[in-house]
Amino acid sequence: MGQITLNQITKSFGDVQVIPPLDLRIDDGEFVVFVGPSGCGKSTLLRLIAGLEDVTSGDITIDGRNATEVPPAKRGLAMVFQSYALYPHMSVRKNIAFPLRMAGLDKEAQNAKVDAAAKVLNLTDYLDRRPGQLSGGQRQRVAIGRAIVREPAAFLFDEPLSNLDAALRVNMRLEISELHQTLKTTMIYVTHDQVEAMTMADKIVVLQAGLIEQVGSPLDLYHTPRNKFVAGFIGSPKMNFLTGQYAAGYDATTIGVRPEHISVSSSEGTWSGRVGVSEHLGSDTFLYVDIDGVDEPITVRSTGEIGVRHGDNVYLTPDASKIHRFDKQDLRIP
Amino acid sequence: MATQHSRSAARIMMAPAVVLLLGWMLIPLTMTLYFSFKKFLPLRGGDLGWVGFDNYVRFVSSSAFWPSVQTTLIIVGGVLVITVMLGVLLAILLDQPLWGQGIVRILVIAPFFVMPTVSALVWKNMFMDPVNGLFAHLWKFFGAQPVEWLSDAPLFSIILIVSWQWLPFATLILLTAIQSLDSEQLEASEMDGAPPLARFGFIILPHLSRAITIVVLIQTIFLLAVFAEIFVTTQGSFGTRTLTYLIFQRVLESQNVGLGSAGGVYAIILANIVAIFLMRIVGKNLDS
């Protein structure tokens, strides 16, 4: 079981309120991702759930039990830290066994659990090494191993992949998703990377300045963002925003079009512009097109290779059914 | 990266310092060795010629030698135990967020700036004096007979004085070490269910082991040469005669330079034995 409810929780550091009153319900077995720009309070929120910070007001309920005043160790949650926080003077085996040892399990039970976890995480050959002798990905797995042996009600991940290189990050992303499929335990995952959020989450919580901007499944957020912030944050490359005369025709203050919903033509189209940088990735081509009266270049994503060069004149046509309209308050007009 | 030219320039510029330091070390060492093989009594005839290993034999066979070695080791060991244990505790306390932290830290470090002679005199006259000392007043306040510290518990008194001087050093080094501990490690262990005492034993203490090694090594080197504290308090009586003090007495009180020099050579050997011994036990910590 791992059902967590946050009821009107707030957090202030001195006079600064970093989390305004906030409600959130996380269901058992869900993979929830908190995503937002740096300083949006997502790590603080995770630490509040973990019990490493005290809430200023409000209640945290874990599995129907009020856990607001319960110390971290008694909440039945396990956390994987950004720096992994492995104990450098202990072997991998002792690191993973540490929570069991603190729980007072006997040696045999400890070893059995550690061996099982090591097998799941491919760490069997490294059990006698020290964390300092492991690569980044292996250390990450040790940290996860230390979390799974406790059989927690929920896992908390605090930007666990941000110290890994790009290739390893993709691998570990898959491994964590795989782990979630096997264990079916609630996982709460904090990241600033919307790609991680989109690929792993059952439910994404987009935060800005401590406020929840929107909660929903990845595709919900992609198709029907509640406001301009969510629209700009979810999706890669970012959504293009146009104002003024371009938006007026759609009866909106701002319109947003995703790069993948614009088609390019060299002869005719709605908007004309001049190609700036073009990035050829083979499978896709990203064009940055300058059009009149818009400061930022419009990003266009075309599949396959297209033969345009820097300085070419092109015409862009947005897919009318995929245009998002926003009003003066930056809220989406349905 | 250094070119041939810059390397030789560097050598020339370092040369004066190297020559000075070498001379500083070699000249006294050679003179000590030279005198240790002579019968040299400044007030009783001066240089009386070579005597081979006579001085060495006489120094060791003197009844004062082994007790002085023992005293030296007790003082060094006692001070090390007290400063490391209290140092760890103080470092943890000073690491806590605290109002007026800067001032408190300076106050804690202050004893290190007091000269050994002065601090020994302060302790002797203001704390341990059986008539006017603070301790005497304290004892009397509770109706007890004041302790004559320097004659009843002379070794303990000296250990106390020296520990008071060296505690700031240990605290300072251990505090910087504690501050370098990754707070996420402590949080992780907290989530893993470790109570405060286990967090201390499993996380903080192992993290401090290297700093403790450094404190032990550096303090040992200086503590073997403790002198002023003994000179101004007990003058080597009541079993507080360390090896250093014995050498001083042989040279200046008995006016026997040759015998004292032989003792000096023994002191060098003892210091090296202790150093090698310590390196063996704790030096492993410095490698990893």
Helix H or strand E encompassing B47? strand B46-50
Comparing CB atoms, the residue among B182, B194, B198 nearest residue A83 is B182
The answer to whether residue B24 is domain-embedded is: no
A211 within 8 A of A34, measured Cβ to Cβ = no
Q: pTM of this prediction?
A: 0.78
Q: Which residues of B266-285 are buried (b: 16+ CB within 10 A; e: fewer)?
A: bbeeebeebeeeeeeebeee
pLDDT of residue A31: 92
Flag if B184 and A73 touch (Cβ within 8 Å): no
pLDDT tens digits, A139-174 = 888 998 999 888 888 999 998 888 888 888 888 889
Render pLDDT for B125-174 as a digit per residue (tens, 0 to 9). Answer: 888 887 888 888 888 888 888 777 877 888 888 999 999 999 999 999 99
B189 with A98: Cβ contact below 8 A: yes
- Identify all chain A residues contacting B206, using CB atoms and an 8 Å cutoff: 87, 89
Closest CA–CA distance from residue B119 to any residue of chain A (Å) = 40
For B260-284, the pLDDT digits (tens) are 899 889 888 888 887 787 777 666 6
Q: Is residue B254, in this structure, part of any structural domain at all?
A: yes
Compute CA distances B8 → A10, B3, B20, B21, whole Å: 66, 9, 19, 20
Q: Identify the closest residue of chain B to A52 by CA–CA distance.
A: B187
- Taking the Cβ of residue A72 and every Cβ of chain B, the question of whether any pair is shorter than 8 Å is answered with yes
> Coil, strand or helix: which one is B239?
coil
- Render the burial of A117-129: b for 16+ CB within 10 Å, e for the rest: bbebbebeebbee
- Spell out the residues 6+ positions from residue B224 whose beta carbon is closer than 8 angstroms to its own: B72, B76, B243, B244, B267, B270, B271, B274
d(CA B147, CA B130): 6
d(CA B223, CA B75): 8
Q: Please name the residue that has the structure tokens 């039945």.
A: A76
**A89:B206 CB<8 A:** yes
List the one residue out of B37, B59, B61 whose CA is nearest residue B47: B37
Q: How far is A129 from chain B (nearest CA, A)?
A: 13
Strand partners for A301: A286
Nearest CB to B192: which of A71, A88, A102? A102
Classify residue B18: in a domain, yes or no.
no
Instruction: Give the one of B185, B187, B193 whose C-beta lies nearest to A87's C-beta.
Output: B185
CA-nearest of A80, A95, A88, A87 to A160 is: A80
Helix (H, G, I), strand (E, B) or coil at A144: helix
Of A50, A89, A90, the CB nearest to B191: A50
Question: Domain spans of chain A?
Answer: 4-232, 237-333
Residue B10 in any domain: the answer is no
Q: How far is CA B114 from CA A35, A252, B133, B161, B251, in A?
A: 56, 77, 19, 12, 28
pLDDT for residue B288 is more than 60: no
Q: Render pLDDT for A94-130 as a digit per residue (tens, 0 to 9).
A: 999 998 988 888 888 888 889 988 888 888 888 888 9
- Tell me the C-alpha distance between B269 and B250, whole Å: 18
Q: Chain B: nearest CA to A111, how far in angstroms?
A: 17
Among 3.50.50.60, 1.10.357.10, 3.20.20.10, 3.40.50.300, what is the CATH number of A4-232? Answer: 3.40.50.300
Separation in Å, CA of B198 to nearest CA in chain A? 8
> Which range marks the domain in which residue B125 is found?
35-287
Assigned token pair, B284: 């492993």
Give the pLDDT confidence score for residue A217 in this predicted structure.
Answer: 92
Per CATH, the homologous superfamily of domain A237-333 is: Nucleic acid-binding proteins (2.40.50.140)
For the stretch A245-280, pLDDT in tens is 888 878 888 889 999 999 888 888 888 888 888 888
Contact B185 A50 (CB under 8 A): no
Residue B39: inside a domain: yes
**Interface contacts (A, B; CB < 8 Å):** 58
Domain assignment of residue B45, yes or no: yes
Tokens of A120: 């799941």
| Closest by Cβ to A73, choosing from B190, B202, B207 | B190
Cβ of A98 within 8 Å of Cβ of B206? The answer is no
Chain A residues close to B190, C-beta within 8 Å: 52, 71-73
Check CB contact of A81 with chain B, cutoff 8 Å.
Answer: yes
Percent of chain B with pLDDT over 90: 17
Contact between A161 and A192 under an 8 Å Cβ cutoff? The reply is no
What pLDDT, on a 0 to 100 scale, did the predictor assign at position B285?
60
Over the stretch B174-209, which tens digit does the pLDDT of each residue have?
A: 999 998 888 888 888 888 888 888 888 898 998 888
Q: Please check whether residue B27 lies inside any domain of the structure.
A: no
CATH code for the domain in which residue B55 is found? 1.10.3720.10
Number of domains in chain B: 1
Residue B284 is predicted with a pLDDT of 63
